[in-house]
Amino acid sequence: MSTSTAPLGPRAAELAVDPVAYALALREHLADNSADYDRWRGHEPMTVAERNDHHAALLRALHDDGGWTRYGWPEPAGLGGDPRHRAALYDELSSAGLPVPDQCLVLETLGNPVVHFAPSLAAEVMPALFTGAQWWGQGFSEPEAGSDLAALRCRARRDGDHYVVSGQKLWMSFGATAHRFVCLVRTGTPEARHRGLTMLMIDADAPGVSRRPVALASGQEEVSEVFFDDVRVPLSRAIGAQDQGWAVAMYLLQFERSMFAWQSAGIALRRLRDLRGRLASSGTPLPDGTTGRLGSTYADIVTLRSRSAATIRRLAAGDTVGPEASVDKILLATVETGLHDLARDALGADFLLADPQDPHALDSTAWRAEWWYSRSSTILGGSAEVQRTILADHVLGLPQESSR
């Protein structure tokens, strides 16, 4: 796949070095073409697979009329710039009442290590992400390796110029529809724990890959189980050196804990506006305490934006973000659980009962699905307990837990 031929504005070079100018230009583009983007506003009943396609089409539209999805990523696949460009994209979409495409949530965690540790692979595989033609899934967790990631067992053995991968991954977001997986696999002994791991990119259509969607309690198949049965992966698909997978994962976590949080904060603010609109026009008394919780939730979102913006600026300046990023993750979980608990409590009967008379029935359905998904904010990417332990160990310097 070669560099895109989609038209760029005459100011592409200027926008690539100036994230503020980029944000303003994008805002203008979204405002000038607002009607063209209306199909991504509001809620339609969709399966996860349908939603992935719908969001991919949004990426395509953004890509084809100005190359907006390519800023913030290095050339040649991208147009140059830094993480602030990407942060601006997600923010401008949210401000315009548009979704942040599902694909971008994974792109932000997986795109960065691919660009950093495997630049030639990035040049090959990333253009399809920017057009929405393809997206990726993140394969870290396994049935016996959840919070204890270093216990993972999915194995890759060398065979000539290939790795041969056997094992299983679990809880992969968008795993059922993704075109490629970025997986942490074991190349050393199990006893080597985090020292014997390698990051590999595996094509979803490779022989020996099978997958099974897992439905969350909402009924939405948000995650998947993926099985690898002697899947052959070229050595060139390694991201980073063999047995250096843990370092790649730690590099990736910097973006997962900041950029993902920033995306989520933008989405949360859009959804809080939606909720406020419904509550303000409901005409029925609100449950006790709703007003104050609305104010608190808004303040929590501003706090999360403040923190993740500061972290993103550090990343853009080339700083390494360490264990302190667990604060970002805790603040993200505070927003996700607080916002969705507020929606559940304040919408009351409309949330709990799928009332056909509810004029906002589709929005209520979305809130129910999002409520279940919000519970993952204290689990995925390191559980709430793991984040607190990281802060206690590495930031506060408290005495170690004796059993560890």
Using CB under 8 A, pick the residue from 215, 280, 317, 352 that binds another protein: 280
Helix (H, G, I), strand (E, B) or coil at 135: coil
Q: With contacts defined by CB under 8 A, name the span among 114-122, 162-170, 221-229, 327-335 that binds another protein.
A: 327-335
| Number of neighbouring beta carbons within 10 Å of residue 35 | 7
Closest CA to 110 of 91, 124, 129: 129
Q: Which two tokens stand for residue 111?
A: 């795109």
Near another protein by CB under 8 A, which window of 31-39, 43-51, 162-170, 292-300?
292-300
Give the x-and-dash track for 9-28 against another protein (CB under 8 A): ----------xx--x-----
Q: Of 25, 30, 87, 118, which one interacts with another protein (CB under 8 A)?
A: 87
As measured in angstroms, the least distance from the Cβ of 60 to another protein is: 24
Residues 298-317 that bind another protein (CB under 8 A): 298-299, 302-303, 305-307, 309-310, 312-313
Instruction: Name which of 182 and 315 has its Cβ closer to another protein.
Output: 315
Interacting positions 189-228 with another protein (CB under 8 A):
none
Bridge partners, residue 228, by sequence: 167, 209
* Nearest to 113, CA basis, from 233, 199, 195, 202: 199
Quick one: which of 89, 77, 181 has its CA closest to 131? 77
Residues 271 and 232 sit within 8 Å (Cβ to Cβ): no
| From candidates 116, 273, 314, 375, binder to another protein by CB under 8 A | 273
340 binds another protein (CB under 8 A): no
| Least Cβ distance, residue 401 to another protein (angstroms) | 5
Q: CB–CB of 64/6 below 8 Å?
A: yes
Closest CA to 68 of 9, 10, 2, 5: 9
**Count of residues engaged in binding another protein, rule: CB under 8 A:** 54
Residue whose token pair is 């991208």: 78
Paired strand residues for 157: 164
Stretch that binds another protein, among 106-114, 146-154, 211-219, 324-332 (CB under 8 A): 324-332
The residues with which 145 forms a beta bridge, in sequence order, are: 142
264 neighbors 109 (Cβ within 8 angstroms): no
* Smallest gap from residue 100 Cβ to another protein (A): 14
Residue 248 is which amino acid?
V
Q: How far apart are CA 271 and CA 42, in angstroms?
A: 11
> How near is the Cβ of 56 to another protein at its closest, in Å?
25
The correct pick among 180, 293, 340, 368 for binding another protein (CB under 8 A) is 293
Backbone angles phi, psi at 153, to 5 degrees: -125, -10
Which of 49, 215, 217, 398 contacts another protein by CB under 8 A?
398
| CA atoms lying within 13 Å on the CB side of residue 87 | 26
Least Å distance, CB 375 to another protein, is 19
C-beta of 164 vs 309, nearer to another protein: 309
Among 121, 151, 216, 279, contact with another protein (rule: CB under 8 A): 279
- Name the minimum Å distance from CB 388 to another protein: 4
Q: Are 380 and 171 in contact (CB under 8 A)?
A: yes
Binding range to another protein, per CB under 8 A, among 101-109, 191-199, 238-246, 288-296? 288-296
Give whichever of 220 and 389 is closer to another protein, judged by the CB atom: 389
* Residues 200 and 165: beta-carbon distance below 8 Å: yes
- Measure the N-to-C terminal CA separation of the chain; round to a whole number of Å: 48
Q: Name residue, tokens 């980029």.
A: 22
Task: Please report, as residue ranges, which positions from 375 to 394 form the binding site for another protein (by CB under 8 A).
Answer: 385, 387-392
Q: How far apart are CA 169 and CA 221, in angstroms?
A: 16
CA dist., res. 121 & res. 335, Å (int)? 36
Question: Does residue number 30 form part of the binding site for another protein (CB under 8 A)?
Answer: no
Residues 100-129 that bind another protein (CB under 8 A): none
- Least Å distance, CB 252 to another protein, is 20
Applying CB under 8 A, the residues found at the interface with another protein are: 19-20, 23, 84, 87-88, 91, 95, 262, 266, 269, 272-273, 276, 279-280, 290-296, 298-299, 302-303, 305-307, 309-310, 312-313, 324, 326-327, 330-331, 385, 387-392, 395-402
